[in-house]
Structure 1
Amino acid sequence: MAFECVSRTHVGLRRKINEDSLLARPGEGLWAVADGMGGHSAGDVASRRLVEALAALPPARSPDEAAGHAIDAVEQVNRELVAMAKEAGLSTIGSTIVGLAANHALFRVFWAGDSRAYLLRGGQLERLTRDHSLVQDLVDAGMLAAEEADTHPNASVVTRAVGAAPRIEVELVGGAVEPGDRFLLASDGLTRVVPDAELAAELGRPALGAIADRLLDRVLERGAPDNVTLVIVEVRGG
């Protein structure tokens, strides 16, 4: 099997700086989206450092090995960002991260924060990640309806992020790969504006580049209140 991928990133319509970063390495089966924490200083530095660390990883023999190396790199960057913030006298220099490692048989998704990974298979969209956020905790506790989460006043408050605490716990999920699978990695600049039902409909259409363009256009048409970044990966048979 082989992979086709496209990516888009945009500063949005209300921010001055794009604090998102992305990685697309189809030849190595590794992709990632990092969202520098808005409202904190140097979010762009944090997201860029994460992507640089992942890009520097050696080739891996399997998605498990790749994800293990990636998590080690995220933990090292977490220590660097905590030290950097302390030296600079800042409260936090942080970023979310979501990454995908895949080969012809398996995939692994690793993440910390509220950047998301989805899988479209057989016309059905599955969210592979659970947001590490205040509103997700409220939903899980039965105190908030899921459909109200993305419009909640505290929707942007994350409970886990790289650089936010001396130790970071990176979550990991995975499964088998099938020809025709489409993965989406995205910052919340996309997922808070375009609901899952619309993502599913768009991801089921032909031409990855056209899909990415339409999703970005939809966010811009709706005011693009945040930076927006997305990576779409399709598994090709062969």
Structure 2
Amino acid sequence: MNCYQCSGTIAVDDRFCEECGVSLAAPSTPPSIASSCQKCGAPPRKIDAEGYCIECGFRQVAISTDRIELQPAPNLAGASDRGRRHHQNEDAIALNQLDPDTYVLVLCDGVSSSQHPELASQAAATACIQAIEIALQDGSQEPRTAIELGVAAALQAVSQIPIDPTSSIDPSSTTIVTAIVRANIATIGWLGDSRAYWLSPEKSLQLTQDDSWMRDAIESGMYTPAAAEASPHAHAIVRWLGADTADDGKPNLMTFALPSGGYLLLCTDGLWNYAPDPAYLYHALQQAPDYESRSIARHLIQYANQQGGQDNITVGIFVAGDREIGA
């Protein structure tokens, strides 16, 4: 048998395609009945019997984002997984290699308390990477500017998702973390609590700082780290992308010179909640079967699911230099 999405070989009892990660389970109801418009977010009543959205004209397709795997280059891969508790995957990922020395990673985590979080994350990831690619390919923009343009495009895309103005639920929103790796320099931008790490045996680091209530409470001096972490507001984010963004939506930015060997990891909180300390996260990465980027991404997804899989899990991994696991 062959996968309907990538034509890879599958066995009769396979639940997911080993090549592309798509779910092989038949949907219990057609997409026109089961969900909102996959493009504009119009409610199910706006989808006609043939699957066409009467708002934007897009025809729904039977797809699953429960499990996604990407590998645009041997040293760049990513995966996204629904986890073991959520009913849908509200994360999104986009990766690309633009030339032999330029790589782009974008990860988004839709805010579950907002309308259409799954559409928000996908719209943001798609718009961001497209804007970054355009900015870099014409040669006129530096990586920092390209990321600012990418996040601005993501904000615009999320803000345009149709919502129910009478609902008490917040407008569509998402976190974002993105990186451009060029000439061994990583330029990283983010809003929210999706993170970037540098992982290596010499020294592992958390490169980003969460836009969260806990971080603000600790920095204000009003709470000790222990008291802030114990608060029910600890993981509430204070910045995000959406129509109700509280500020200008400009990303936090930093650059990091990649050492000779190691791993640049971008991930949503579905992973780092189980291993927030960089050294512990590197220890988890070391258990991967080999140093190949897709193997590492798969292993980290598996690790988070083994810990409980309480949230959607998304990871992007860039292997810098020739380094084997544990070397």
TM-score normalised per structure 2: 0.64
Q: Which has the larger radius of gyration?
A: 2
Supply the distance in 2 between the matched residues of 1:108 and 1:173 (Cα, whole angstroms): 6
Contact 2:269 2:313 in 1 (8 A): yes
The farther-off stretch of 52-61 and 166-175 is 52-61
2:134 maps to 58
1:198 maps to 280
1:182 maps to 263
Instruction: Considering Cα pairs closer than 8 Å and 6+ residues apart, tell me whether 1 or 2 has the greater RCO.
Output: 1
Could you list the runs of 5+ residues in structure 2 that have no partner in the other structure?
1-72, 323-327
Of the three residues 88, 108, 131, the one matched with 2:164 is 88
2:106 maps to 32
1:130 maps to 209
1:168 maps to 249
Aligned-residue offset at 1:235: 1.6
Supply the distance in 2 between the matched residues of 1:99 and 1:43 (Cα, whole angstroms): 18
Aligned-residue offset at 1:68: 1.5
Supply the distance in 2 between the matched residues of 1:126 and 1:146 (Cα, whole angstroms): 21
2:304 maps to 219
Identity %: 24
More helix per residue: 1 or 2?
Answer: 1
Aligned-residue offset at 1:73: 2.8
Misfit runs of 4+, over 4 Å: none
Contact 2:285 2:300 in 1 (8 A): no
Task: Render the CA deviation track for 1:56-109: whole Å, top value 9, x for unaligned.
Answer: 2326168x7234223223223324433545x53153210000011011242200
Task: Render the CA deviation track for 1:100-120: whole Å, top value 9, x for unaligned.
Answer: 101124220000000000112
Aligned-residue offset at 1:140: 2.3
Of the three residues 56, 78, 83, the one matched with 1:7 is 78
Amino acid at match of 1:178: P
Q: 2:298 is paired with a residue of what secondary structure?
A: helix
TM-score normalised per structure 1: 0.86
Task: Render the CA deviation track for 1:122-155: whole Å, top value 9, x for unaligned.
Answer: 5211111000011121232341426973x75334
Supply the distance in 2 between the matched residues of 1:100 and 1:160 (Cα, whole angstroms): 18
Supply the distance in 2 between the matched residues of 1:81 and 1:209 (Cα, whole angstroms): 29
More strand per residue: 1 or 2?
Answer: 1
Supply the distance in 2 between the matched residues of 1:76 and 1:172 (Cα, whole angstroms): 16
Could you list the runs of 5+ residues in structure 1 that have no partner in the other structure?
none
Q: 1:88 is paired with a residue of what secondary structure?
A: coil
